[in-house]
Amino acid sequence: MSWFRFALIAASLIPSIAHGQGLRISTEIVDISTGADGKPVTQVLSGSLTLCHNGRVYDYVSSVDELVIYDPIEKSFTLLRPSRKMAAIVTFDEIIQHLQNRDVKTKQYLDELSATGLASSAKEAEMIRFQMNPRFTETYDPVEGKLVLSAHSFTYRVDTRKWDDAEQVDRYLTYRDWMARLNSVLHPEGLFPETRLALHDALRRQKNRMPIRVELDRRPAISSRLRADHRLTVGLMNSDHDQIAQWEDLLKGKDVARVPLIRYQQNALVSRR
């Protein structure tokens, strides 16, 4: 499984958006799979820093030098590679159009799989159909604050934390919905967004609960268990404000090239080889 697939799991895990006082979230994606020798593996795969400030969300992954800015007022994301001085804008409408096109192409691919008559093709088709229209068995322990969404080869285990600001929870879940959809555009080889949207809806049903640890278990189809751990700090540090100002100044400057999304993605792929 590629690093991108691992990184996508974090899309459903980052806690709340604080508009007034701000919020800092440090996230680690950890591989907790079982190795070939039967012993558990615990390996940090990636990390990110998320800064929530004045209604916008700045999500930075240093290992790939990529910043994603969520702007609900403009109904868009800005993607920035600071070291390469390259940026692209993706609107919510463009994301929805992409998902509609994906549905058409996926249904055509499912027809091709069905025509082969192979057992392996049938299993692949089953997993794709599940991701497009997930159906989980949902359980919640109100004492422990643990939410579980379970299905064959696809289980979320979530530790939650009580959150007093209901509007803040709603803003967070809306943000995470759009991030899940964006990741489907940026990394089509990853998971479909519908499974994460289902997780967000389950969190909405618990009311005023924020996820602080999320595990995705893909066994037995895939020998993979990934976990996202979050450290939340209410309020931003001076260095966080300085970093946001640097990013904003960079975007306003003439040195950053504004390019179409396809060129941005091509550049990103080349730089990661």
pLDDT of 39 higher than 80: no
**Residue 115 within a domain:** no
| DSSP codes of every residue in 108-146 | HHHHHHHHH--HHHHHHHHHHHHHHS---EEEEETTTTE
**Residue 104 within a domain:** no
Show the tokens assigned to 167: 């509007």
148 vs 266: which has the higher pLDDT:
148
Specify whether the CB–CB gap between 162 and 183 falls below 8 A.
no
pLDDT given at position 271 = 59
pLDDT of 35 higher than 90: no
Domains contained in the chain, number: 1
Show the tokens assigned to 63: 């290992």
How much of the chain exceeds pLDDT 90, in percent?
68
Taking residues 242-250, report their average pLDDT. Answer: 96
pLDDT given at position 40 = 73
Taking residues 226-240, report their average pLDDT. Answer: 89
pLDDT given at position 65 = 93
**Residue 103 within a domain:** no
pLDDT of 19 higher than 60: no
Which of the four pLDDT bands, split at 50, 70 and 90, describes residue 21? low
Taking residues 19-33, report their average pLDDT. Answer: 82
**Residue 118 within a domain:** no
pLDDT tens by residue, 99-155: 999 999 999 999 999 999 999 999 999 999 999 999 999 999 999 999 999 999 899
pLDDT given at position 153 = 87
Domain that holds residue 204: 3-89+134-271
Q: Whole-model pTM?
A: 0.86
DSSP strand pairing (66-71 vs 76-81)? antiparallel
pLDDT given at position 177 = 96
State the CATH number of the domain containing residue 84: 2.50.20
Q: Is the dihedral of CA 200, 205, 206, 207 positive or negative?
A: positive
pLDDT tens by residue, 55-103: 999 999 998 999 999 999 999 999 999 999 999 999 999 999 999 999 9
Which of the four pLDDT bands, split at 50, 70 and 90, describes residue 15? very low
Average pLDDT, the chain: 88
**Residue 262 within a domain:** yes
**Residue 67 within a domain:** yes
**Residue 120 within a domain:** no
Beta strand segments in 40-193, E = 43-53, 56-61, 66-71, 76-81, 86-91, 137-141, 146-150, 155-162
pLDDT tens by residue, 156-185: 999 999 988 787 778 888 989 999 999 999
**Residue 105 within a domain:** no
